[in-house]
Amino acid sequence: MAEQSTFTEADRTDGVEPDMVDQNAAPASEATGAGIQPMNMIQALNSAIDVKMAEDPNVLSFGEDAGYFGGVFRVTDKLQQKHGLTRSFDAPISECGIVAAAIGMGAYGLRPVVEIQFADYIYPAYDQIVSEAAKMRYRSGGQFTSPITIRSPYGGGIFGGQTHSQSPESLFTHIAGLKVVIPSNPYDAKGLLTAAIEDDDPVVFFEPKRLYNGPFDGWHEKPVSPWKAQDLAQVPTGKYVEPIGKARVMREGNDVTILAYGTMVWVALAGAEHAGVDAEVIDLRTLVPLDIETIEASVKKTGRCVIVHEAPKTSGFGGELSALVQERCFYSLEAPITRVTGWDTPYPHAFEWEYFPGPQRVADALKSVMTGQATGMGR
């Protein structure tokens, strides 16, 4: 849209903001053609939303800077140009309002995909997510649902400090009525986001921002490797769905099971290699619903279990995983279950790598369980 210095009465009534794309100039939505191409996680997520918006006119995307600018991480890039102002737009800085509006839209039959700019900012929306979205189906006796997807970048490793590095997943896994999804690679990111958008109930979709541009394994001194070399970065350009509630075995092994999700999947793989242990690494992919069958089968095979997540240890999701493994696999365990987690402190800025659970800590935990010993707090 051409730059202008005067805001006229015509501008006031045409429904188009001066800094936004004119919807009349936006091309018609078109489904993406079939094929496979290497994508990073940002591109894969963008493709998922784009394909669904082209397929279903009830799908829309909005959030802080998620319209004209395309999101702070560019996940919604060019969606406004492709699909118009009424389907991709910016929202005020009000996380509570963003989610509340999405809940209302969902009750009327739309499928909003909202972006909370950082997971650290999701707390103002917590009441709407917990008290409204998660309860809608139950409160209305099935007359209404809340088919909304709440996207949010989460986790550390980017020197974001205490306000841009948090991992609040356990606050949502505790809430009945919510699904919680955390992908670890571009292929799963697109397939799982597609499934989330098509789900008739609310899905909290956390995106590990340290993985947006490459499979970070925790060895921060080394150069970052790009996604394009990975098999799981070869992403179909058209529509496909990865089922919510199904884990992925990333590495088969016989001696110990590692349960991880998000960035910690790649850290777990690096830790197992560093320790020289025949570990089976399971990417949970979705925390709720949880693929407990895959977990149980693996732990009963290996007899040992190490759980890895970025969030602080106390009341983290690892505690729930540990309890489930203990309940279901008690007679198969040959060593205490061990957790490798963040510390019970706010995420520090100056000591990023002392807080971030790295491959060395995973390797130490693996060696410990192989000798039948438990490790201490957050190690």
Half-sphere exposure of 234 (CA within 13 A, CB side): 5
Q: Measure CA 252 to chain center.
A: 24
Burial of 283 (0-12, 13-18, 19+ CB in 10 A): buried
DSSP code at position 351: T
Q: Pick the catalytic residue: 164, 174, 309, 349?
A: 164
* End-to-end CA separation in angstroms for the chain: 55
In the residue annotation, 164 being an active-site residue is answered as: yes
Tell me the pairing of strands 256-260 and 59-63: unpaired
Strand order in the sheet with 286-288: 88-90, 59-63, 111-115, 149-154, 203-208, 179-181, 286-288
Tell me the pairing of strands 234-236 and 36-38: antiparallel
- Residue 329 phi, psi (nearest 5): -125, 20
Half-sphere exposure of 344 (CA within 13 A, CB side): 7
**Residues with active-site annotation:** 164
